[in-house]
Structure 1
Amino acid sequence: MTHLPQTVQSWGKPGFEQAFKREIEALDAAELPLQQGLARSSHVADQPFHAMLIDAREAPGVLCIKAGIFYGGTIAGCSCADDPTPIDVQTEYCVLQLDIDRTSGEARVALLDD
């Protein structure tokens, strides 16, 4: 389960957006549904990703955050010694919905079709 306690603690305070970005960008990419969000490539690249806060609101017991994620993807070749396919990183983008429990900081993360 993904935990974002600093995001919860900073809710309603100056610096909320920076705290959210810092905390989500520190996560391992495998904790987010980035693979399912690929549109131009076949595998998530092993490089940092960047988050953009789109919307944040409070609902009973949870923070509802909509975020855009910019990340890299690669098109896998056959990995043969004579494979002419260059390993090129494509820019990918997806939108995630994060519902963060206000008490525990546990976050449910879902890929949106936006």
Structure 2
Amino acid sequence: MSLTLPISLAARNQPDFCAVLADELRAQDALFWPLQRAMEHGSHALVESASIMLLREWENDGSLHLVLGVSCASIIPGCACEADPTPMSEVAEYAWLQLCIDCASASAVISECEEAI
């Protein structure tokens, strides 16, 4: 999947950067798989609930590197059978993600972090 974040790159030093970044990542469906893999409690990540916090930022070799803390919800769905007793309850999830954005082209790569670097 090709990921390009020109709007986020332009908003880099703005106070609403994290909200802009979250919106642009959601619009390109770039959060689902990293959050899905990082889940610890639920079985399906609810990307629309994701909020992003910038934990670390640095630039080198023409690329912007970000470590993000992402809070979201996940669900533990039932079997969807008639009279299924399992409630569709939301569970809080948290993940560390690393994002590398090329400052010239705005192309980006998102990956999981084991811990906040």
> TM-score per shorter chain, which class?
0.7 to 0.9
Equivalent in the alignment of 1:25:
22
CA contact (8 A) 2:53 2:68 kept: yes
Paired amino acid for 1:24 = L
Per the TM alignment, residue 76 of structure 1 is displaced from its structure 2 partner at its CA by 1.9
RMSD, aligned α-carbons: 1.7
SS of the residue 1:74 aligns to: strand
User: TM-score, with normalisation over the residues of structure 1?
Assistant: 0.86
Which stretch shifts more, 28-37 or 91-100?
28-37
2:112 is aligned to 111
**Contact 1:4/1:23 (8 A) holds in 2:** no
SS in 1 for 2:48: coil
Question: Are the aligned partners of 2:11 and 2:20 in contact in 1 as well (CA < 8 Å)?
Answer: no
> Contact 1:25–1:48 at 8 Å: present in 2 too?
no
**1:18 corresponds to which letter in structure 2?**
D
Quote how far apart the aligned CAs of 1:25 are: 1.5
What amino acid maps onto 1:76 in structure 2? P
Matches within 5 A, 1:8-19: 8-11=9-12, 13=13, 15=14, 18-19=16-17
Shift of 1:10: 4.0
Superposed counterparts of 1:8-87, under 5 Å: 8-11=9-12, 13=13, 15=14, 18-19=16-17, 21-26=18-23, 27-28=25-26, 30-32=29-31, 33-45=34-46, 47-87=48-88
Corresponding letter in the other structure for 2:49? P
TM-score under structure 2 normalisation?
Answer: 0.84
Q: Which runs of 4+ in 1 moved over 4 A?
A: none
Cα offset, 1:24, TM superposition: 2.1
| Greater percentage in strand | 2
- Cα 1:46–1:98 change in 2 (3 A) is closer
